[in-house]
Amino acid sequence: MSVPLAPCTPLKAVVVVPPVRDFYFTRHRFSSLGARIVLGILKQYGLEATLLDFPSMSRNGKQIDIPSDIAYLGKYMVPGETGKLSYFTKYQIFGPPPEQCAQKIHSLSPTLCFISCFAFSYGSELIDISRNVKKFNPAVTVVAGGAGVSAYPLYFLRDTSVDFVLSGEAEKGLREFLKAFVNKELPYDRVSNLQWKYEGNFRASPVTGFADASAIEPVASKVYETKNSVFISTCLSRGCPSGCKFCSNKITHGTTFRLTTSEKVLSKLEGFLIDEKGQNRSILINFEDDNMLLAPEYLIDIMREAQDRFGALSFLAENGIDYRLLSPGFADHLISLGMTRFNFTLGSADESILENLKRKSSLAHFETIVRHIASRGIPVLSYFIAGLEGDSKDSTVDTLSLLSTLPTSVGLSMFYAVPNLAGFENMSRFDAIAPSVCNGSSAYPWNGTMSTDELVTTFRISRYVNLLKSREKSEMEMELLRKIRSDNRLYTFVKNKKGTSIIEVPCYDREMVRMFLEKVNTSS
């Protein structure tokens, strides 16, 4: 770690996680680990730094108007819809409005304001915060970073309120930036992954790359808690060597798989766990890694050592585990060490689609692993992606049909593009739309393989399958399921002053529902 040449009076800095505007917000998955790494580096360097995680500051979202660029989704939203088969019912902001966020930032009198963009789809939120910060104090230096910024740095730098953009991993360029900005001992063109403005022109450092394994900062975040339990997220690794065309991991973290040391991770967790154990609460640790099974012995050592040091723990991997790297015996080993649920990414049941997208798959192996884990009484959640290149209504129905026969809950990810993803290198395409179109929830037909009608219908069928698999169903839910099966149509619950009633969903792809129900009824 470089030794800072800190000024006599420490500069004040804020690290900002902007509010989120979307149809939904999974609070315990929004761990803001990257922002916390930035905070730690700033403090190590001697700055007086504060984290403002705005989405975590309010328990519930507040309804706002749907952005005009995704107003096409309005026809799929059913007023008063409720229950387990429902689609989204309102667009919301999670966290304070930008003006209030900027006022809070201003009250801390920062010299530097680092704003994190978790995904390009939330780019408007970053820019709104930045503009409001500058209204309060134009002298504040705004630095934008995060995965969303890394996808298209110039999109953010073009805005007059953003002074610098740091792409990629914070460990690679942030300390160099501080040496350049705070101590003036390094020119900006020697700061890795930096872009900035100079005399009205955009400048980019020729120095690029990703952090060495030894430089990776371990980080953990307490993201959710109840009276009896606490949920902690951490990350063990960086980089993905797989090269799947639909994944943007490599844009931010590269293609070289790297691990932080297990002792660093355990030391970071220790501060959380000792305190929580003293409160007699059950602890769930979530690994946010994409590829942790690439280092199986390393993972096992961390899980075993954590159990030995801190007592009974439960482990999750909600970002997904690669089923291709699991065997029944290895799954049993993870279960014995405290893995309480398995989240898998299937992608698609059509192996030819995945092969064309450079993703190897094996349906036979997937089915074997799912059935084995379920036989141990451990829940399984399997995600698939609708709207991939080469996808179709038929292939999606086949995937849904397969998952309906297996002992797993169904998770849907609707494909969304980000700048610089394979096939989406033309930046002008993203200049012409609002970033919110790049949300999976926007059901935008990026590849032209499935329409928005079909994507939203896939969403509803997925919820139908999960209700069908649910062990506990009310009488009304049983009636709803019977009506769907008998009529080959989609129905849902609507709540009004007179109570709850069953209505047909007004806008969906009827042929797709018929295809699915006929296929499932035939196979059963």
Tell me if 429 is assigned to some domain: yes
Burial class (CB in 10 A: 0-12, 13-18, 19+), 9: exposed
Distances (CA, A) of 373 to 342, 345, 365, 411: 8, 15, 12, 17
Contact assessment for residue 53 and residue 32, using Cβ atoms and an 8 Å cutoff: yes
Q: Are residues 335 and 467 in the same domain?
A: yes
pLDDT (0 to 100) of residue 76:
97
CA distance 449 to 454: 10
Q: Are residues 279 and 314 in the same domain?
A: yes
Buried b (16+ CB within 10 A) or exposed e, 338-371: bbebbbbbbbbbbeebbeebebebeeeebbebbe
pLDDT (0 to 100) of residue 324:
95
CA distance 147 to 252: 6
Tell me if 46 is assigned to some domain: yes
Q: Which of 172, 204, 236 is the last residue of a domain?
A: 204
Closest CA to 34 of 113, 130, 118: 118
Contact assessment for residue 396 and residue 386, using Cβ atoms and an 8 Å cutoff: yes
pLDDT (0 to 100) of residue 4:
52
The residue range of the domain holding 157 is 12-58+95-204
Contact assessment for residue 388 and residue 447, using Cβ atoms and an 8 Å cutoff: yes
pLDDT (0 to 100) of residue 52:
98
Q: Are residues 32 and 175 in the same domain?
A: yes
Using the Cα atoms of residue 424, residue 430, residue 435 and residue 436 in order, give the sign of their dihedral: negative
Tell me if 513 is assigned to some domain: no
Tell me if 128 is assigned to some domain: yes
Q: Which of 204, 234, 263 is the last residue of a domain?
A: 204
Tell me if 476 is assigned to some domain: no
Distances (CA, A) of 16 to 253, 290, 308, 432, 502: 21, 25, 36, 27, 44
Tell me if 72 is assigned to some domain: no
Hey, which residues does 380 pair with through a beta bridge? Answer: 342
pLDDT tens for the chain, 524 residues long, are 444 544 456 899 999 999 999 999 987 778 899 999 999 999 999 999 999 999 998 888 999 999 999 999 999 999 999 999 999 999 999 999 999 999 999 999 999 999 999 999 999 999 999 999 999 999 999 999 999 999 999 999 999 999 999 999 999 999 999 999 999 999 999 999 999 999 889 999 999 999 999 999 888 888 888 888 889 999 999 999 988 999 999 999 999 999 999 999 998 888 777 766 667 788 899 999 888 899 999 999 999 999 998 888 999 999 889 999 999 999 999 999 999 999 999 999 999 999 999 999 999 999 999 999 999 999 999 999 999 999 999 999 999 999 999 999 999 999 999 999 999 999 999 999 999 999 999 999 999 999 999 999 999 999 999 999 999 999 999 999 999 999 999 999 999 888 999 999 999 999 999 999 999 987 65
pLDDT (0 to 100) of residue 6:
47
pLDDT (0 to 100) of residue 524:
56
Q: Which of 204, 231, 257 is the last residue of a domain?
A: 204
Contacts of 321 (CB under 8 A, 6+ apart): 292, 293, 342, 343, 344
pLDDT (0 to 100) of residue 278:
61
CA distance 153 to 167: 7
We report the CATH number of the domain holding residue 323 as 3.20.20.70
Q: Are residues 104 and 41 in the same domain?
A: yes
Tell me if 88 is assigned to some domain: no
CA distance 113 to 12: 9
We report the CATH number of the domain holding residue 192 as 3.40.50.280
| Structural domain count of the chain | 2
This prediction's pTM: 0.94
pLDDT (0 to 100) of residue 134:
98
Q: Are residues 220 and 121 in the same domain?
A: no
Closest CA to 232 of 267, 264, 262, 276: 276
CA distance 251 to 257: 13
